[in-house]
Structures are given as C-alpha cells and as structure tokens.
Amino acid sequence: MFFVPPSASYIGYINFSVISLLFCLMLVVAGVMETNLFGVVSERMLFVTKSERAVTIVLIVVTFFSSMLITNDVALITFVPLTISIFGSERKDRLILTVVLETIAANLGSMATPVGNPQNLYIYDYFSLTIGEFFGILMPTVILSVVMILIACFIGKNNAMRGDDNIDNEIKDKKKLALYIVLFIICMMTVLRILDYRITLGIVVLSAVIFDRKIFKKVDYFLLLTFVAFFVFVGNLRAIPEINSALGEMINGREFIFSVMASQIISNVPAAAMLSGFTDNAAALLMGVDVGGLGTPVASLASLISLKLYSKSKNSDMKKYLLVFTVMNIIFLGIFMLFCIFILGYR
C-alpha cells in the first residue's frame, strides 16, 4: 500500500462473490453443527465397531467425505474432539495416529469439491472453471487419496474396542436442521452458477437474522478479512510493473512446484490468492495448493486446528504428535508430488 496508495481501484481487487459465498457457507455449516447432526451420525457409526482399527477407519472415512461438503477445518473441529473422547489418554499411540490421519484425510478429501476448502472455492470462481473441468483436474488425486488413506488405516496394533451401547445423542432442532439443509442447497446452486451470489447472500443472511441470530458469532471473520487483505496485496503487486513481470516469469511453467512450496511457508489459502494473479494455468495452481496442504503444520490452516485441539487434550505428547505428523505428511506429500509430476505431468 506504500507503493500503491489506497484508491477507489482497491474495490476492484476484491472478489466479492468468493467472500460472499464463503461467508454463507460458514453460516450454514455452523448452523448444521449446532443441530448436532455430525455427532449423531458419527456415534451411530461407531456403535457397530469392535476394534481400535475399525474405529479409526470409521472416523477417518467420515472425516474424509464430510470435508468435501463442510470444509476441512470444520470436519476436524467436529471429529477430532470426538476422537479424543473415544480413545482418551490411555490409548495415546492410537489417538495420535488417528488425529494425524484425520488431518490428512480432511486436507485430501476437501480437494474433491469446490466448497471443500477456501482455496478451491477461490480458484474455481477466479478462473471461471466449470464443475466438469474442476472434477476432471482433481479426480485422479482424489482416487489416489482414497487408496492411500485406507492403506494408512492399517498402521499400528489392532486392540479390541467397542462403542458405547447407550447412545442417546439426538438432533437438537430438526426444523432448524431442515432450514440449513435448504440454505446449503441454495449455496450449491450458486457454486454451480445457477443462482447469483447476491441473491444467495440475501436469503442466507435474512434467514439467519430471523431464525438464528447467534449463528453470526460462529463465522470466521478473520479468514474472510485475510482473503480481503490478500486480494488487495495481489492487486497491488500486479500494479507494480517490475514485480508483476518478475513474478510472472518466475511462476510461469512452474505453477505446481511453486504453489506447493509456497503453501509450506504461508499456507495454501494465501498461496492460492497470491499466485492466482500471475498465472493462467488454473489446473496446476489448483493441484499445487491442494497437494501443498500436506507437509508442514502451517501448510494448511486445518492442520493447525488439529494440532491445537490435540495439544489441549489430557496427557498430550506434542513431541510424538509432531514426529508422527511430520513423517506421515512427508510420505503423503512425496507420493502425491511424484504422482502429479510423473503421472499427471504437472510442473
């Protein structure tokens, strides 16, 4: 902003459709969480399990597929506390392994849909991708994700275990759940470009004001402001000819590698917003920031959520957690990078 003083042109930097839709999805998902739907579904599934491995598989599979619709961070906020309560401090090794694999599963599963994570939604809208183009880009890695996640579930000893026979969790407000399901469908209509984002914003906000005002407190406004800040940052970079030219030459032809590496340092959401202004290769950028969510704890904001939740658990062992997290993420990141470079041909 020092080099490009604030002006009316700043407004043009901001992608209001992405900000609005992300805000709507945050409201809707927070509303669904308040009804306890995810807790009920997961506990019903855990009821039939008889071993630690079976519990791990259920938790990871639920996290993987739910992250496609409720985002990776919300999936982890929902299921990591449940995992901690199930395994407790007496099953420390199984707890650490499961939380780490849930984190990886959330980051991989969320790449499958435009609404699975913020960077997908941003790139999908920024490059005006069709839903067919989006799925075509990511489907090979989604299939690989399923295979690798299931293989990883068989790591560790398999001790006997059974879910609670006295499950009494229920949906807290069925009418409110129905409302949020309808609002979620409306959001999906906007993602599919059937409905204008301004209409969706109006419907969602008005519904929340009338039926559930407290839900506004659940929105991650800092993430929304981070997006706005990066829109301004990237817009200003592009307004400086020397930087615009240098970054364009540096990234051109290396979008995948560059976005993976940038994600390791500044996280994949900011990396997507920053790099999008300097390339037309949407596929390589999308693949790079999604695969780049693996690796360091800061590569994905969702990974930091898991780390924070685990650190607050009873008798947490952060050294062991970080060791398992690092080893598993390096393995997954290495395999995915080799797959994308040598099989899919990204650079």
H helices within 35-91, ranges in order? 37-46, 52-70, 72-87
H or E element, residue 291: helix 282-291
Range of the domain at 126: 37-161+220-343
Q: Is residue 210 part of a domain?
A: no
pTM: 0.80
Rounded to whole angstroms, the Cα distance separating 47 from 191 reads 35
pLDDT for the residue numbered 329: 97
Q: Which of 60, 61, 65 is nearest to 97 (CA)?
A: 60
Helices (H), 153-196: 174-191
The per-residue pLDDT for 313 is 84
What is the distance, to the nearest Å, from the Cα of residue 221 to the centroid of all Cα atoms in its chain?
A: 16
- Helix ranges (H only) for 88-117 are 92-109
The pair of three-digit structure tokens given for residue 63, joined into one six-digit string: 């996290």
Asked whether residue 95 is domain-assigned, the answer is: yes
**∠ CA 314-318-321, rounded to 5°:** 105
**Rounded to whole angstroms, how far apart are CA atoms 175 and 17?**
29
**Are 343 and 329 in contact, with CB atoms under 8 Å apart?**
no
SS3 160: strand
| Single-letter code of the amino acid located at 246 | A
Report how many domains make up the chain. 1
Which tokens go with 161? Answer: 């275990």
Name the pLDDT band for 89 (thresholds 50, 70, 90): low
Mean pLDDT, rounded, for 307-332: 92
| Poorest-pLDDT segment among 133-147, 189-203, 234-248, 296-310 | 234-248
Alpha carbon distance 284, 241 (integer Å): 24
End-to-end CA distance of the chain: 32
Exposed / middle / buried, residue 47 (Cβ in 10 Å: 0-12, 13-18, 19+): middle
Q: Is residue 213 part of a domain?
A: no
Beta-bridge mates of residue 51: 160
- Is the per-residue pLDDT at 163 higher than 60? no
Q: What residues have CB less than 8 Å from 276, skipping those under 6 apart?
A: 122, 123, 126, 127, 234, 285
Distance CA 271, CA 296 (A): 14
Structure confidence by residue, pLDDT tens digits, 181-228: 999 899 888 888 889 999 999 999 999 999 999 999 988 888 788 878
Per-residue pLDDT tens digits for 258-278: 999 999 988 898 889 888 888
DSSP type of residue 51: B
Instruction: Specify if 111 maps to a domain.
Output: yes
184: in domain = no
Alpha-carbon dihedral sign for residues 148, 285, 187, 20 = positive
In whole angstroms, give the CA distance from residue 133 to residue 146. Answer: 21
Q: What is the reported pLDDT for 183?
A: 94
Computed from CA positions of residues 256, 262, 265, 270, in that sequence, does the dihedral angle turn out positive or negative? negative
Q: Give the pLDDT confidence of 10-44 residue by residue, as tens digits.
A: 898 888 888 898 899 889 888 887 888 767 776 77
Whether 164 has a pLDDT exceeding 60, the answer reads no
Structure tokens at 9: 């042109």
The pLDDT value given to residue 276 = 87
In a domain, 20, yes or no: no
Q: Please report the pLDDT score of residue 36 as a whole number.
A: 80
In a domain, 298, yes or no: yes
Give residue for tokens 């062992």.
317
As a three-state string, the secondary structure of 198-259 is HHHHHHHHHHHHHHCHHHHHHCCHHHHHHHHHHHHHHHHHHHCHHHHHHHHHHHCCCHHHHH
Helix-strand-coil percent breakdown of the chain, rounded to 5?
75, 0, 25
> Which two structure tokens, joined as six digits, stand for 195?
């409905």
Q: Where residue 301 falls among pLDDT bands split at 50, 70, 90?
A: confident
Q: Is residue 262 part of a domain?
A: yes
